Amino acid sequence: MPKRGYHHGNLRQALVDAALMLIEAKGPTGFTLSEAAKQAGVTPAAVYRHFEGREDLIAEAARQGYEIFADVMKYAYDKGQPSALAAFEATGRAYLAFARKYPGHYIAMFESGISVNRTPDLAAVSARARGVLEKAAADLSEHISPDKRPPAAMFSAHIWAMSHGVVELFARTAPGSQSPFSPEDLLETGIGIYLRGLGLIKPDD
Amino acid sequence: MPKRGYHHGNLRQALVDAALMLIEAKGPTGFTLSEAAKQAGVTPAAVYRHFEGREDLIAEAARQGYEIFADVMKYAYDKGQPSALAAFEATGRAYLAFARKYPGHYIAMFESGISVNRTPDLAAVSARARGVLEKAAADLSEHISPDKRPPAAMFSAHIWAMSHGVVELFARTAPGSQSPFSPEDLLETGIGIYLRGLGLIKPDD
DNA sequence: TGTACATCAGTGAACGCGCGTTCACTGATGTAC
DNA sequence: TGTACATCAGTGAACGCGCGTTCACTGATGTAC
């Protein structure tokens, strides 16, 4: 911690970080402006130099989350190239890894109730994230014979839903309490079975 | 609305109903004891004749939700008999139907942050609900050759996760805004592809 | 290099609010005789 | 059938609390000359 005089130096980001910690620790409900300010070593009123209010601060936390999320997904996608299948599976793993590594961001993004259409910024970055997943799905979709190919947006939605469901139901609780399987295993096998259903993995592989 | 004297008559249930309405309308955060009391036409203090406090009231709402949920799932399961496949698919549809029809209960159960282990009652009824899904999965699992059969608890978890994900991501927003597919279609096709992956549906069906 | 001044980022006191909860109370209901 | 009394379900006033937000302010910083 650098010495701190009257001026903070980087209060804006310090507040976002504090908000993320609080959200992670106590849920989006538990987060309060005052506490975030206190944790950043500053009066509640100081927050208003940098944000319009409580909601605005959460939105910024979510925005940064989407930014990281989109990057992470893109990186996984690229790494899986040139195999469409490998790229797709990698994004699935990346989803869960993101939720685990950035729980505060994840909660701000998906559980805080802030709308993705709150600001153009937020809408843009969330669209970018969704775009990566849909691109991965579209690539993969090329390998399915056209007559039995579901829309790419549909199966990217399936995978997104399963990933989100695994996070919410099985990755959030005390380890091992909810289910005998790790979230990673659950998602890996789930996606595997699903892809087999699409004929993209050999039945006996 | 029956006439109301000094005594309410059925305040306990009236409070639960008010809580459900409020939760549905404003999320688990928006719900307050005082407002629920007001909506039931009663002083906030009266709540304490029937509940230990705010949390206790939410827990009761969740408990009633699990009760309905378990019944609904069981009914769907029974209706699908004697076909294990039909029974399983019916429970999937019932899941989504429940989330749609009882949004307040659903939120109280899965998004309010109350622990299922809060009381023995709550734990029991939630276990009953999960039991139905696992039974349906176990039945179905009989039709998979033993050497390539995943644990029943695992694929019931897969389906639960996908169902929950569909509800959270696609069934909660303004109709049609989030996705070009209806949640029902999404879940139906998703489960279909998944079951095909397990070899339980013919590849070209 | 030194000084005057504009700009900016924080303070701290105050606000009104609605919350959950408590308490002594009172009005209504039901039951024993 | 009537009366006394116990029980119960509500009232209403009060509480302390922490919240988000506002305001006039002041201390620190940077820049023009």
Residue ranges of domains in chain A: 1-51, 58-197
Residues 6+ apart with CB under 8 A from A96: A163, A166, A167, A171, A183, A184, A187
Mark yes or no for CB contact A169/B160 under 8 Å: yes
The residue whose CA lies nearest the C1' of nucleotide C12 is A43
**Chain A residues lying within 8 Å of B180, measured CB to CB:** 151, 153
Give the confidence band of A8 by pLDDT, cuts at 50, 70, 90: confident
Cα gap B71→B79, rounded to integer Å: 12
Mark yes or no for CB contact A193/B165 under 8 Å: no
The spacing between the Cα labelled CA in B20 and the C1' in C31, in angstroms, equals 37
Q: What is the pLDDT of residue B6?
A: 65
Q: What is the pLDDT of residue B1?
A: 37
In one-letter notation, the amino acid at residue B83 is S
Sign of CA dihedral B18, B22, B27, B32: negative
Chain A and chain B share a number of CB contacts under 8 A equal to 118
> What is the full DSSP assignment across B157-189?
HHHHHHHHHHHHHHSSSSTTTS-SS-HHHHHHH
CB A53 within 8 A of CB A31: no
Mark yes or no for CB contact A168/B163 under 8 Å: no
Q: What is the pLDDT of residue B2?
A: 39
CB atoms within 10 A of CB A151: 15
CA–CA min distance B193, chain A (Å): 5
pLDDT tens column, A23-33? 999 988 889 99
Helix/strand/coil for A124: helix
Cα gap A59→A16, rounded to integer Å: 10
The spacing between the Cα labelled CA in A115 and the C1' in C7, in angstroms, equals 35
Cα gap A83→B168, rounded to integer Å: 31
Residues 6+ apart with CB under 8 A from A87: A76, A77, A78, A79, A80, A81, A136, A139, A140
CB A154 within 8 A of CB A98: no
Range 24-83, chain B: CB under 7 Å to any strand C atom: 31-35, 44-45, 47-48, 53-55
Mark yes or no for CB contact A181/B153 under 8 Å: yes
Q: Candidates 1.10.3470, 1.10.10, 1.20.58, 1.10.510; correct CATH number of B1-51?
A: 1.10.10
Question: Phi/psi at B99 (nearest 5 deg)?
Answer: -60, -35
CA–CA min distance B73, chain A (Å): 18
CB atoms within 10 A of CB A135: 18
Radius of gyration of chain B (CA): 20
Q: What is the pLDDT of residue B205?
A: 46
For domain A58-197, say whether CATH 1.10.486.10 is its number.
no
pLDDT > 70 fraction of chain A, expressed in percent and rounded: 93
Cα gap A21→A83, rounded to integer Å: 38
Q: What is chain B's pLDDT, residue by residue, as a tens digit (205 residues)?
A: 334 566 777 999 999 999 999 999 998 888 999 999 999 999 999 999 999 999 999 999 999 999 999 999 999 999 998 999 999 999 999 999 999 999 999 999 999 988 899 999 999 999 999 999 999 999 999 999 888 889 999 999 999 999 999 999 999 875 545 578 999 999 999 999 999 999 888 765 4
- Which H or E element spans position B145? none
Mark yes or no for CB contact A113/B29 under 8 Å: yes
Average predicted confidence (pLDDT) for chain A: 91
CB atoms within 10 A of CB A13: 14
Average predicted confidence (pLDDT) for chain B: 91
pTM higher than 0.95 for the full model?
Answer: no
Q: Do A1-51 and A58-197 have matching folds?
A: no
pLDDT tens column, A151-199? 999 999 999 999 999 999 999 875 545 578 999 999 999 999 999 999 8
Cα gap A161→B186, rounded to integer Å: 9
